[in-house]
Amino acid sequence: MNNILVSSQGTLSFHGQIYRCALGRGGVKADKQEGDGATPLGSFAMRKVFYRPDKFTAPPVTKLPLEALESNSGWSDDSALPDYNCYVQLPYTGSHEQLWRADDLYDIIVVLAYNDAPVMLGKGSAIFMHIAREAYMPTDGCIALSQPDLLALLAEADANTRVEIKL
């Protein structure tokens, strides 16, 4: 099986390995809404991997599309604008996330195919897999792993790999 299985209990399994992960502070929900802090229930493709080129001696090993972040990289979370839930370049007038962060959380970002085909306003944005905070503190709706675990997943994932988030 080539799917990454994520349990609402904070574990992730892939190719026979079990990893610890952090999920959204709002739990796992089927009816995710912008700002609720929940991780969406469902099965999602892995669209793209972004990484901080200044933090790695070589790009992460992956078969997924890979792109280096830039200091002006952002992600729109402004449901009033047409580029809601899309990559944007800063400065940006609407509400957004800065992808080039002072902490290490977004040194690697895997964009999940949540609310992107089509984008539905207010249904949630910026659902990523990224690096976990200390002690696996909850996220704002993303899935977070240790950097070594995330790199291990990326080395084995491919275009057919789906992330299945279950209760």
CATH number where 52 lies:
2.40.440.10
pLDDT of residue 1 exceeding 90, the answer is: no
Domain interval for residue 32? 4-166
Which uninterrupted H or E stretch holds 45?
strand 42-51
pTM for the model: 0.97
Backbone angles phi, psi at 76, to 5 degrees: -75, 130
Q: Per-residue pLDDT averaged across 32-60, rounded?
A: 98
Q: Per-residue pLDDT averaged across 11-19, rounded?
A: 97
Q: What is the pLDDT of residues 99-127, one digit of tens each?
A: 999 999 999 999 999 999 999 999 999 99
Q: Per-residue pLDDT averaged across 77-99, rounded?
A: 97
Tell me how many domains the chain contains.
1
pLDDT of residue 161 exceeding 90, the answer is: yes
Size of the chain, expressed as the number of residues it contains: 167
